[in-house]
Amino acid sequence: MIENELATDFIALTRQGILNDYRLVCESRQASLLGRKDVMGGRAKFGIFGDGKELAQVAMAKVFRKGDFRSGYYRDQTIVAALNNLTWQQYFSQLYGHADLAFDPHTAGRSMNNHYTTRFLDENGLWKSQTDTYNHINDLAPTAGQIPRSVGLAYASKLYRQNEELWSMTDFSHRGDEITFATIGDASTSQGMFWETMNAAGVLQVPLLMSVWDDGFGISVPVEYQTTKGSISKALAGLQRHEDENGIEIFTVKAWDYVSLLETYRKAEEICRRDHVPVLIHVQEVTQPQGHSSSGTHTRYKSAERLTWEQEWDCNRKFKEWILTNGYASNDELEEIEEQAKKFIRLQRNDAWKAYSEAILKEQNEALTLIQTAAQESRFKAELLQLVDEVQREFVPLHRYNTTAVRKALRALRFESSPAKQALIDWLEKNTEINHDRFSSHLYSESPDSPLKVLPVAPYYDDESPFVDGREVVRANFTALFANDARIVALGEDVGKIGDVNQGFAGLQEQFGELRITDTGIRETTIIGQGIGLAIRGLKPIVEIQYFDYVYYALATLTDDLASLHYRTKGGQKAPVIIRTRGHRLEGIWHSGSPMATVIHSLRGLHVCVPRNLTQAAGMYNTLLRGDDPAMLVEPLNGYRLKERMPNNLGEFCVPLGQTEILREGNDLTIVTYGSMCRIVMEAAEELSQAGISVEVIDVQTLLPFDLDHQILDSIKKTNRVIFADEDMPGGGTGYMMQQVLDTQNAYKWLDSAPRCVSAKPHRPAYSSDGDYFSKPNVEDIFEAVYELISESAPEQYPSFC
C-alpha cells in the first residue's frame, strides 16, 4: 500500500482558486438538499444525490483533461459541474424528468437524476470530436454496471497509442494520451463486475483511474459485511504493482482532506496517463449527509455516534475549517459564499420548474380547451367537464394527464360526431407522435450510417469458385475486412493464437498482429465491456462470446448498458460493437446454444442475426461493419465443416437486416425458421413433398429486426397455414415470431388453420446425439406437425398414421 506524502509543489494553490472550489461544493450541496426536498414535496418521483463526495470530485476535476472519459454512477454531480458539463438548471430539469433535450441534454428526461452524458453525436447521429470535450459516458444506476465499459474506454487509449495506423483519428484520440476515470461506491465493489474489471485492467495495463467512494455502508449494510478486511484497498493489495511485476497502483486518501486529495489525484493521474498503469484511489471517511437516497432515512441504520461523526467530518465543513485555519478567507466571506450559493441554486431550481411546468401547462391548455369546446355540443357535458376539473386539480403537471383526459373524452364521445370531436382526434394523433419522440425514439440508429440503410449485395461466384469448409469462408471474409480497415479489432477467449475454437480467425493474428486480434481471459462481462468502450471511442470491435449459452455471464452489461445506450441518451451516444458467438445443435446442457428468447427480449436496441450458414454470417458482418448499431451474431455451430462456395467479393457482399429469404417455394403451408433449423426443416420439406404436401420454407435471417417487408404475410396469403419452428424452449423464439406475424402483420385474417409452434422441450438439451434428437425438434417432428395441419382439412387424402 502506498501512503500519501504531502508535497510542496504538486499544484498551485491560490486564494481565488480555493474560494471557487468552496463556492462549487456549496452549490453542489445545496442542489442535493433542494433536490431531496423536491422529491419529498412531490415534484419528483425519486432522487439520489452526491452530497458528501463534493471535495474529492473537485480534486478529480483538476486533473481531468479534454479528451478524457468518465464512466461513473449516480453521485457524480460535482465533477460534471466542475467541468462545465452541467448547469444546475439542467440538474433539476433531469430530476423532474423534463423530456426535452434543450433542458436535459444528458438524457431528455429518460433517466433519473444524476445520469450525465456528453453528446458525441450530432443532430444527424454522426460522430463529433471527442478530443476537445470532457467526456462523460451516460451513467448507470445498476450497481457496478458502469464499470465493465471503463476497461474498454481505457483499452482504447492503449490501442491508439500503440497502433500507428490509428494516429490519424485525431477526433477520437491524441495517440492514446487520454485516461478513463471510473467512479463507484464502496459497497458496489463487492460486485463481480468490479473485480473482473480490476483484474483485466491489471493484465492489460491500461490507463484506468478508479475512484471508490467509501462511506462505510451499502445502503444499510456496513462495510465489514461487504468487503474482506473491511477495506477495498487492503482486499486488492495482491494486485499492487512492484518494480519487477505489473499490476495496479493503489492510493488511499480521506474525503475531507483537501490538500491530500489534490496531491493524490495529481500523482495518480500522472502515473496513469504517462505509464498506462491502472490506479485505484480508495477515498475513505466519506459522509452521506442525507443517506442513500430519497427512499428512506439513514437514521434507521446509523448509530447516534456515527451520525455525530458524519456531521463533524463532513467534507464541506472540514474544507471551511481548513480555509479559515490557513487564512485564505474570513468567516464572513465564506458565509457570504454559502448564502450566494443557496440563492443561486434556488433560482436555478425555480427556473427549471418553471420551464418544465409551463411546457406541460401549455399542452394542457390546448387539450382542456378542446374538451370544453366538445362539452358544449355533447350530451355528456358533465362527464367531459369533470375530466377538465380532474386535470386542473393535479398538483404536479404531467403529459400523461393531458393525454388521458383526451382519450377518455373520445371514449365518452364515441356515439357522437362533431368538428370538436375531430379536433380532439387530431390533437391525439399529433401528440402521440410527439410523445413517441419524447419517450420511445432512438432505440436504434436513425443516422445515415444505420445498418438498415446498407444496400444488399449478393455474393459473386464464377466457374473457379471452390467449395470449402464454411469456416474458411468466414475466415477469408475477416481477412478482407481487417486488411481494409485499421479500426476493426477482434478480441475474446482463444481468438488470437489458435484463431478461435472453430478457426474463423485462424492465422489472422500472425497477419495483423496482437493489437488487432487479441486473446483475453475467461471474463465474458469485461469482454463485452472492452467492446463497448472501444466502440464508443470510434473503433469497430468484434468481441467474442465463445458459446451462445455464455451470454448469460454478460447479460447485465449487455442489457443495462449496451442495448439501451442510444435510447437512454436520445441519440446522444452509440456503441456499435459486434458480439460474435456460436450456437445451435451442439450437444449438451450448457452448450446447446438456443436461449433466443432471453436475447431478443433483453436486448432490444441490438440487432440479433441468426445466419443459417457461414456465407450468410460473413455477409451480415459486412453489413454491420458498415453500420453504426450494436449487434449480436450467432453463427451455426454445426456449419463450420459443411461445404460452401467461396465468394469472389469477400468483404463486400452484404446481407440486408430484417429481410427474409424463401429457401423453398410451396403452396400448402409456410414454415418460418432460422439458423441451423433451416437444414432440419428443408429435409422435412423434401420428405413432405414425397407425401404430396408442398411446403414453403422461409429463413427469417434476423430476429431483430424481424421481417420488415412482411414477406411472411405474403407467403401466408398464399398457403393459409403457418408453423414457426426453432430450437428455443416453448414460447421463446417461436412465440416471438408468432406474435410478430399475427399481431404486427395481422396474418390471422388469412389463416385456415390455427398457427403452430414447434420448439424444443422445456428443459436444456440432454447430452449425446440421442439427447439432441429427443430434446430438440427433429425432421420427424416437423413432418408430423405439418401433416397434422394438412390432415385437418383433408383427412381422407391425408389420414392419420398414429
Helices vs. strands in the chain: H and E counts, helices first:
26, 22
Q: Is 591 a catalytic residue?
A: yes
Asked, as a colleague might, if the bond just before 705 is cis with ω within 30 of 0, I would say yes
Q: Are 634 and 583 in contact (CB under 8 A)?
A: yes
Q: Are 60 and 265 in contact (CB under 8 A)?
A: yes
In sequence order, what are the residues at sequence separation of 6 or more whose Cβ sits closer than 8 angstroms to the Cβ of residue 113? 35, 44, 46, 47, 48, 49, 74, 91, 94, 95
Gap between the Cα atoms of 441 and 433, Å rounded: 10
Residue that is written with C-alpha cell 500519501 in the block: 4
Residue that is written with C-alpha cell 466502440 in the block: 535
Give how far Cα 447 sits from Cα of 126, 137, 443, 573, Å.
7, 20, 12, 12
How far is the first Cα of the chain from the last one, in angstroms, to the nearest whole number?
Answer: 75
Q: Would you give the DSSP letter of residue 313?
A: T
Strand order in 695-699's β-sheet? 661-664, 695-699, 669-673, 722-725, 756-758
Amino acid present at 499: G
Bridge partners of residue 683, in order along the sequence: none
Residue 200 CA, distance from chain mean position: 21
Gap between the Cα atoms of 743 and 225, Å rounded: 50
- Burial of 398: CB neighbours in 10 Å, binned 0-12, 13-18, 19+: middle
| HSE toward the beta carbon, residue 147, CA cutoff 13 A | 29
3-state secondary structure of 222: strand
Which residue in the list 591, 601, 710, 763 is annotated as catalytic?
A: 591
Closest-CA residue to 608 (of 441, 434, 737, 743) = 737
Over its C-alpha atoms, the chain yields an Rg (Å, rounded) of 30
Give how far Cα 594 sits from Cα of 544, 757, 776, Å.
17, 16, 10
Per-residue DSSP letters for 95-125?
Answer: HHT---TTT-TTTTT-S-SS------B-TTS
| HSE toward the beta carbon, residue 774, CA cutoff 13 A | 6
Give how far Cα 75 sits from Cα of 32, 342, 483, 545, Å.
10, 20, 44, 32
Gap between the Cα atoms of 111 and 142, Å rounded: 12
3-state secondary structure of 195: helix
**The C-alpha cell of 492 is what?**
475474446
Q: Would you give the DSSP letter of residue 669?
A: E
Gap between the Cα atoms of 155 and 403, Å rounded: 47
Q: Are 394 and 402 in contact (CB under 8 A)?
A: no
Residues belonging to the active site = 591
